[in-house]
Amino acid sequence: MPASGGRHRLSRRTKIATGVFALAIAGGALAVATTFGQPGAASAASGGQAAVGQISCPDVASKLPAIPAQAQAEVQRNLDLLNTQIAEANNRLQTTVGQGGPNFVQNAILGPLADKRKSTIDRIAISIGRRAEKPQGLDSLATCAVGGQAGTGAGAGAPAPAPAQGTGNGGQNGNTGNSGNTGNAGVGKISCPDVASKLPAIPAQAQAEVQRNLELLNTQIAEANNRLQTTVGQGGPNFVQNAILGPLEDKRVATINRIATAIGRNAAKPQGLDALAPCSR
């Protein structure tokens, strides 16, 4: 009997030890599963979005020669547009993590960005060239890369907030500006009069410049819609009018005037387009 009792006690100890060991393994597995299941765990281990990096572009402003006074406003507008383009590309870089194949970033983000920058840089060079010697070789500044720090690409301040996609005056599609950011439906969105549909026949010599400015009108609406969404609750009752709609109208007046001037160089200059500048929410 004593020997039999000793065997029973040993068996019980073995079962208890085995059970504890199994629980330890299960607990470890649960801890591992929990770690991998937590949304922030993988990001913490890999640095999250920081691992994605940001788009860095060569500075353009510092490579320009002296800018004639008559060209300064147009050059500054295009430098600002370079900043907007980088901001849009950075936003897409952050929001498309894991999409596409190994060449997705190059083909879907960096390539289109280089094309946009080349067009904008060419406009800067042409603007200077109308009043002084046209700068050469600026096209080499169009190509960007993904790095640790975002470049301003224009040297005209930090990149603007990434705008939402809007098609307010889309030239080819002629939408009305009601398709801006809808991320916060309760805030509403900015609606602007369509410009493309109000234009007369556009001379062939002016079509490229007119289209660029129609696209700039879209960018302006998108930026304003983005600000509308990201400043909810800020300021007083007149904040939207004074800080968003008013500045947007000023930008639209300048851009619409450039469209009219471009047409007027080769045909009758359209009148009364300024009435299309004010927008509303």
56 Cβ contact partners less than 8 Å away, ≥ 6 residues apart: 144, 145, 146, 147, 148, 149, 150, 151
User: What is the tens place of the pLDDT at every residue in 65-76?
Assistant: 999 989 999 999
What's the CA gap between 66 and 20, in Å, rounded?
A: 79
Q: What is the pLDDT of residues 235-261, one digit of tens each?
A: 777 888 888 999 999 999 999 999 999
Q: Spell 181-194 as b/e; 16+ CB within 10 A means b.
A: beeeeebebbbbbb
pLDDT tens string 97-116: 888 888 889 998 999 999 99
Residue 11: band (very low, low, confident or very high) from pLDDT cuts 50, 70, 90: low
> Is this prediction's pTM over 0.75?
no
pLDDT for 156 equals 38
Are 198 and 123 within 8 A, CB to CB? no
pLDDT above 50 (res 276): yes
CA 223 to each of CA 28, 36, 135, 153, 253: distance values in angstroms, whole numbers, following the listed order: 49, 37, 30, 18, 16
Q: What pLDDT does 177 receive?
A: 38
Interatomic CA distance for residues 233 and 23, integer angstroms? 52
> What pLDDT score was predicted for residue 96?
87
In this structure, how many other beta carbons lie within 10 angstroms of the beta carbon of residue 199? 20
Residue 203 has which token pair?
């001379």
In which band, very low, low, confident or very high, does the pLDDT at 188 lie, cut at 50, 70 and 90? confident
Instruction: Extract the tokens encoding 158.
Output: 């930090």
How far is the C-alpha of 195 from the C-alpha of 73, rounded, in Å?
22
- Where do we find the tokens 């493309």? 196
pLDDT classification of 230: cutoffs 50, 70, 90: confident
Q: Is the pLDDT of residue 48 over 50?
A: no
Q: What is the mean pLDDT of residues 210-229?
A: 90
**Distance between CA 271 and CA 268 in Å, rounded?**
9
The number of beta carbons lying within 10 Å of the beta carbon of residue 179 is 20
- Is there a contact between 113 and 89 (Cβ–Cβ < 8 Å)? yes
Nearest Cα to Cα of residue 270 among 205, 195, 218, 199: 199
Cα–Cα distance measured from residue 235 to residue 215, given in angstroms and rounded to the nearest whole number: 30
